[in-house]
Amino acid sequence: MPSPTVVLITGAGRGIGKALATAYLSLPGHVVIGALRDPKGMQAEQLRSFPVASGSRLLLVGIENKNLLGPKKAIEEVEAAGIDHVDIVIANSAVSVGSGPLEAVDPKVFTESFNINVVSGLVLFQAVHKLLTKSSAPKWVSISSRGGSTAAPLPWYPYAAAYCMSKAAQNWFSQTLHVGYQSLTAFAVHPGFVATDMGIAAAVASGIALPKTSSEESAKNIIHLIGQATRESTSGKFFDVDTREEIPW
């Protein structure tokens, strides 16, 4: 029997992360490691209630992005559960705080955004790296945003400056994974303008139309792109999962 495909998803308790976890669980032969703040809370119980395909299973671990020791402890729990490799990591969890024009935004929110949206990804990679090396085709996927592209700024960018700047740094990290690890397929994706709590809040704050893409639709597009991704065609790049367009960094 072939080994299951092991997928680690951060921010699995809600929004896109939750949709990704439930979608992968509906596929046979997958182990889904869902990372969320409280693996015993209401969000965790809801994840446990979703259907699971033949040969698939769910393992929930606790990762709080402000706790730099969390990923190491979570991976220790993963190994204790008998999982000896990870094939796909989807770094999905993020925050968007401190909206408003640049002349008024609190500088502290830039530090908070950078720590949660960037540093937590680095610490996660450090913790999971040894399990990725045991995969025959490891993949790292950063859930980023068009807001992280410095090539074509849009009018709403100043109203989400801390978020956008942190996503630009996350994009740099994703590129560096591609350059630094020759066996790893590492890339970033813009998941679309999705009707999550974060997406709706961003629309309201910047005075634009509410997002129409559902978390489930976004997750479907992300999973499709991951399934087709190769080191040669995808790694080191940045994609819009709705249009398959490559976004300039």
Show which residues are catalytic. Answer: 163, 167
Candidates 3, 69, 96, 78; CA nearest to 34 is 78
Two tokens, residue 58: 């769910």
Interior CA angle at 122 toward 128 and 62, to 5°?
60
- The burial class, CB within 10 Å (0-12 / 13-18 / 19+), for 5 is buried
Q: Coil, strand or helix: which one is 24?
A: helix
Residue type, 76: E
Which run of H or E residues covers position 11? none
Give CA separation, 180 vs 90, 172, 175, 186, in Å: 18, 12, 9, 10
Candidates 153, 235, 232; CA nearest to 188 is 235
